[in-house]
Structure 1
Amino acid sequence: MDANHRHTFDIDDAFLRAWPLPQPHAGGDKEIRGHVLILGGSREMPGAIILSATAAMRAGAGKLTIATGASVAQLVAMAMPEARVIGLEEHETDGFKLDALSTLDPLTDRVDAMLVGPGMRDEASTARLVHALLPSLDAAEVNLVLDACGMDALLRLPPDWPEGKPMRFARPVIMTPHCGEMAHLTGRDKDTLVDAPDAPAQTAAQEWNAVVALKGRRTVIAAPDGTLWQHDCAGNVGLAASGSGDVLAGIIAGLAARGAPPAQAACWGVALHARAGDRLAARMGTLGYLARELPGEIPALLEQLGGKNAVEEQAIRRESGEQ
């Protein structure tokens, strides 16, 4: 921990149990578990959005909509039978045309969280679409998670943006950069970020109005109000594999859809992701497990760490004679 950040909270089991996630009522339906919309994928990386979508559902979201390129929509739909899959028109660069706004904008009133970025490859097109979506997302108070090239909205500003004015989100968003992406977004040296991530994460969170989960061997999560959390992932190098970040972003989006505030969704998401890796490493070995295997560990971890679940609450009511 950096010496000037003495009040960083450690995300351990006791911390998580003291900050329980919102739980759906035992008699509720899929609507009360939250609706998550995931925008991403491309011709070369359709798997990323499948990983994120699976993780969001494993984190407890009740409804799932996926918006991806028309060229891969059918493939994604077959891989994710739980989802409504929308095919969007694409540029030759693999980005989505701004016409997608007419399809996505009406959905913002019906979703609780939106994840943008997994598997997307055209930073300019993605940034234009993010900026175009922000007004409706803000109006509907949708929790927005930006991952991968979705975060380039910070750097690629609309043509009418006031010159010299830095980007700052009107409502707090969640951002999930690794140190290389953080170096790209801030101009800081990557090695310095790896060695001392605390202060840069705090500064970025305050300047961007974002909950920033800066991923690394020690992941730090910073909130706009200056609060800082940390989670030590140094013992599990198996998480450093293709697709692992897509899974983490999906977990966070699923938790946000369930009603977790941005900071809680980020902290719990980082912890669940790491513990899923620990369970796989113990069972299969430190190296060689796949990102697609991480989401399957999440439901049991949620019950282990999250206190009473809806099934337990229902049993308690039956035993007490409640209807």
Structure 2
Amino acid sequence: MAPSRATALTEATLARWPLPHPGNDADKESRGRVLVVAGSGETPGAALLAGTAALRTGAGKLTIAAPRCIAQGLALAIPESRVIALPETRGGGFDARGCEALAPLAESTSAVVLGPGMRDEKRSAAFVRRLLALFRDSAIVIDAVAMAVVRDGAFDQPVLLTPHAGEMAHLSGLAKDAVVEDPLLVAREAARRWNACIVQKGATTFIVQPDGRAWRFDGGSPGLATSGSGDMLAGLIGGFAARGLPLVRAAGWGVLMHARAGDALAGRFGPLGYLARELAAEVPALIESIGQR
């Protein structure tokens, strides 16, 4: 039976979960490749935020796959990335035919961040299913409307989901009030049923494995509840996974670095009003402060 409580997530936890050190002579290939599949005509910034966050973890290479209507703009906005333009559905989502362009990347991709800013949940579902089948050997971080793939049943590959209370209610069929009342219980049941690691986001964030083991983080700040913050978190987790951490440990690093970056910005700007895009630049120094590179 799963324990009734969750273990506290702290800097000491991360010290026990050290980042793999590539060595001083290592090149970018040794720090992992991240594929971010994200964005839409209405929310192009989601792909930029997630991709920037992944690079700030120290991941070595970044590819962004985005709808054709925003691909050129993303290529100019984040020149460190390769950008692949994909066909869209009528509703502005990802057309399943676009997976053909991504198939050659499957063998070399360490982690995939799938879903930030995605639209057209129903028609994008076929794309998500096909992408998961192609990237079976990659760590997968699924965010936003891409999480609807859970309706197909349990996963049989390493997957992490990042729902907030409203999204968990939508995915599980529960009332939002029920999720808010006992998020750990709901996350444990979801992790077991879907065979996925769950990052249940909120004022208190829970990280839960399918076997019921769980970690609790109470150190979030109000300023993190802002547009784009979830995209940044998904990118951070994907970047840490690309560097070689198992998904649950990548989630621990992502959640704590995300929160500490918010603390740093709150100290300079005040508790509210800093921007999600400002979080990523704080992360390298925070990693260094824990003695990691």
TM-score range, shorter chain: over 0.9
Alignment-derived partner of residue 121 in structure 2: 123
Is the alpha carbon distance of 1:184 and 1:308 closer, same or farther for their aligned partners in structure 2, counting shifts above 3 Å?
closer
Q: CA deviation at 1:6?
A: 4.1
What's the TM-score once normalised by structure 1's chain length? 0.88
Alignment-derived partner of residue 164 in structure 1: none
Alignment-derived partner of residue 62 in structure 2: 64
Q: Any idea what the Cα deviations from partners look like across 1:122-150, whole Å, max 9, x if unmatched?
A: 11232111111222211xx1001100011
Q: Within the alignment, does 1:171 sit opposite 2:180 as a pair?
A: no
Q: CA deviation at 1:7?
A: 4.6
Q: CA deviation at 1:209?
A: 1.0
Q: Secondary structure at the match of 1:212?
A: strand
Q: CA deviation at 1:170?
A: 0.5
Q: Any idea what the Cα deviations from partners look like across 1:93-118, whole Å, max 9, x if unmatched?
A: 10122210111122111210001101
Query: Could you tell me whether the CA contact under 8 Å between 2:53 and 2:280 is conserved in 1?
Result: yes
Alignment-derived partner of residue 277 in structure 2: 292
Query: Could you tell me whether the CA contact under 8 Å between 1:210 and 1:224 is conserved in 2?
Result: yes
Q: CA deviation at 1:154?
A: 1.4
Aligned length: 292
Q: Within the alignment, does 1:248 sit opposite 2:233 as a pair?
A: yes
Q: Which residue of the other structure, out of 191, 206, 216, is the alignment partner of 2:192?
A: 206
Q: Which residue of the other structure, out of 172, 178, 189, is the alignment partner of 2:175?
A: 189
Q: Within the alignment, does 1:82 sit opposite 2:67 as a pair?
A: no
Structure 2: distance between partners of 1:76 and 1:183: 32
- Please tell me the residue identity of whatever aligns with 2:234: A
Q: Within the alignment, does 1:218 sit opposite 2:204 as a pair?
A: yes
Alignment-derived partner of residue 53 in structure 2: 55
What's the TM-score once normalised by structure 2's chain length? 0.97
Q: CA deviation at 1:233?
A: 3.4
Query: Could you tell me whether the CA contact under 8 Å between 2:147 and 2:161 is conserved in 1?
Result: yes
Q: CA deviation at 1:192?
A: 2.3
Q: Secondary structure at the match of 1:72?
A: helix
Q: CA deviation at 1:52?
A: 0.3
Q: CA deviation at 1:297?
A: 0.5
Query: Could you tell me whether the CA contact under 8 Å between 2:97 and 2:127 is conserved in 1?
Result: no
Matched-pair identity in %:
49
- Please tell me the residue identity of whatever aligns with 2:172: T
Structure 2: distance between partners of 1:15 and 1:144: 22
Query: Could you tell me whether the CA contact under 8 Å between 2:226 and 2:276 is conserved in 1?
Result: yes
Alignment-derived partner of residue 268 in structure 1: 253
Structure 1: distance between partners of 2:82 and 2:167: 30
Structure 2: distance between partners of 1:199 and 1:5: 11
Q: Within the alignment, does 1:154 sit opposite 2:150 as a pair?
A: yes
- Please tell me the residue identity of whatever aligns with 1:78: L
Alignment-derived partner of residue 132 in structure 2: 134
Q: Within the alignment, does 1:232 sit opposite 2:218 as a pair?
A: yes
Q: Secondary structure at the match of 2:65?
A: strand
Alignment-derived partner of residue 8 in structure 2: 10
Alignment-derived partner of residue 283 in structure 1: 268
Q: Which has the larger radius of gyration?
A: 1
Structure 2: distance between partners of 1:70 and 1:119: 14
